[in-house]
Chain A
Amino acid sequence: TQLLKQSPQFLSIQEGENLTVYCNSSSVFSSLQWYRQEPGEGPVLLVTVVTGGEVKKLKRLTFQFGDARKDSSLHITAAQTGDTGLYLCAGARPGAGNMLTFGGGTRLMVKP
């Protein structure tokens, strides 16, 4: 059973469009991280959100942590072809040494 549900699983959009990826759980996390993975590489950390309601921006990417620290979203404005990749959310489980539980991933394809 996956503790973290990520949606959508696949997303194919045109360059310039906006998109949102969701990461939902019934569990509370001490922090939530978003990673991006390119083909043939390991995941690379984009951002960590820690406080309920926290919003962080990374250029055209906006990350939000839910007030109850159970869910998160990633919004990309004016997507570019360089945004193509696999996006993974991961929640740190309190009481379990902050081990990370990963969502299933969202494979994003941005077409020119």
Chain B
Amino acid sequence: DVKVTQSSRYLVKRTGEKVFLECVQDMDHENMFWYRQDPGLGLRLIYFSYDVKMKEKGDIPEGYSVSREKKERFSLILESASTNQTSMYLCASRTPQGGDTQYFGPGTRLTVL
């Protein structure tokens, strides 16, 4: 059974703090993704990674960075959190052999005060 886990379900941080969101998948998938989800806007791609040590900007990368040191782990970093980064963050993974299907984690609801 496919499994994508995220380190926290809920997180509250203060403006200016550095925030780490961790995602782990156990399916040996090459590709991993970070999205943010806001009401009425659907999911918007922040960053993705085709494989270990690789990263590509998505549609809204400003204010974020990522790290992929191991195949199973993809981290999203908010260098200096701001209130407009309050959102639901979703991690996903896929394998190119599996078509376009992405498998999602449960999400992290981040509030920046």
A interface, size bucket: 20 to 34
Give the interface residue-count category, chain B. 20 to 34
Q: Is the CB of A48 within 8 A of B42?
A: no
Interface residue? A65 (CB, 8 A): no
Closest to B42 in A: A102
Answer yes or no: B104 CB below 8 A from chain A CBs.
yes
The answer to whether A42 touches B42 (Cβ under 8 A) is no
With the chains together, A48 CA to B92 CA distance in Å? 17
B54 nearest CB across to chain A (Å): 12
Given the contacts A2-B42, A4-B42, A105-B42, A42 and B100 also touching, CB distance less than 8 Å: no
Q: A102 to B37, alpha carbons, bound, how many Å?
A: 10
- Given A40-B9, A42-B4, A43-B90, residue A105 in contact with residue B40 (CB < 8 A): yes
Residues of B in contact with A (beta carbons under 8 Å apart): 4, 9, 35, 40-45, 48, 50, 58, 90, 92, 99-107
**Which 6 residue pairs are nearest across A and B when measured between Cβ atoms?**
A42-B104, A102-B42, A102-B43, A92-B100, A104-B42, A98-B100
